[in-house]
Amino acid sequence: MPTTTVTEFKAQRKHVARTFRSRGPIAAKFEDCQQLFAQVSDALQNTRIHHLVDRCWRRLNIWDDDSGASSRNLDYALKSSSSLRKQVINLLRELRQTLEIIRVIVAEPLEVPKTEQISELVSSRPPDGFNTAVLPVEAFQDESETDSNFGLGTRLQEALDIIESLVHLLPTLRNPFEESVPSDATLYSFEYCSLDSYRDEAQELFPRADPSLLERLVQAQWLTRRTLPSARDIPEITIDPSNVASTSRAL
């Protein structure tokens, strides 16, 4: 009996993971955000802005507990509401992108000034004749928390705003509205097959693909689908028995 190699096992796991992500895009993107939050929280554990990370984390968990995003319940509930599902997916995608930027920022090593540089800064004085009274009060204060942390405060506030947008959708998510979309829309109705839907599907199936190559694939598939005639637009062919009989005699 042939044995499964490590490479084949990894390929099978990737296939299963891609299938899961394609069937539950909301749950998959929520899991991505959870993992990024954990990494950011560990990196900012002993900083002054860690309370912002905790606040974002608590609000996101509250939203998950009420919506059922992590358990794929929300994916199932929004099957008949494509516009609302797309809105949630877009918000989670924006949250993931913001958290990825934060992760990149906190991963950069801080440049600590040398002792001689610190001494030079401390001993520096305004030039003679410089009127310090014209400077605003902020010029004599420390940099704001946001600037001193390379914009992390601003990015975390952006993340919190996105999470609050998800929280505001909770009343609608509890009772999602159904859209009158044909059951075979994904097969025959081009108006329901937007370019964004192809991008979402491609990103779920090939998350590590080159962006330019992935976009070319999406464009090709989308244009191919656009050129295909709709099955419902093909007129029904009726056969008149009398015409068949006359044609047979003529032959």
* pLDDT for the residue numbered 249: 57
Q: What pTM did the predictor assign?
A: 0.54
What average pLDDT does this structure show over 31-52?
90
Q: How far is CA 47 from CA 34, 40, 108, 148, in A?
A: 20, 11, 15, 11
Alpha helices in the chain, H assignment, sequence order? 6-23, 25-43, 50-67, 73-77, 82-107, 115-123, 145-148, 152-168, 170-174, 185-188, 195-205, 211-227, 241-250
Which amino acid is it at 72? R
Q: What secondary structure does DSSP assign to 2-68, as a single string?
A: PPPPHHHHHHHHHHHHHHHHHH-HHHHHHHHHHHHHHHHHHHTTTSTTHHHHHHHHHHHHHHHHHH-
Could you report the per-residue pLDDT of 7-36, keeping only the tens digit for each?
Answer: 654 555 554 445 445 468 899 999 999 999
Distance CA 162, CA 113 (A): 36
Judge contact between 81 and 178, C-beta under 8 A.
yes
* pLDDT for the residue numbered 49: 86
Could you report the per-residue pLDDT of 77-97, keeping only the tens digit for each?
Answer: 888 888 888 889 999 999 999
Could you report the per-residue pLDDT of 197-239, keeping only the tens digit for each?
Answer: 677 777 777 777 787 787 778 777 766 665 554 444 445 445 5
> 186 vs 245, which has greater pLDDT?
245
pLDDT band at 37 (very low <50, low <70, confident <90, very high): very high
Could you report the per-residue pLDDT of 127-184, keeping only the tens digit for each?
Answer: 454 443 443 434 333 334 444 455 788 899 999 999 999 999 888 888 887 655 444 4
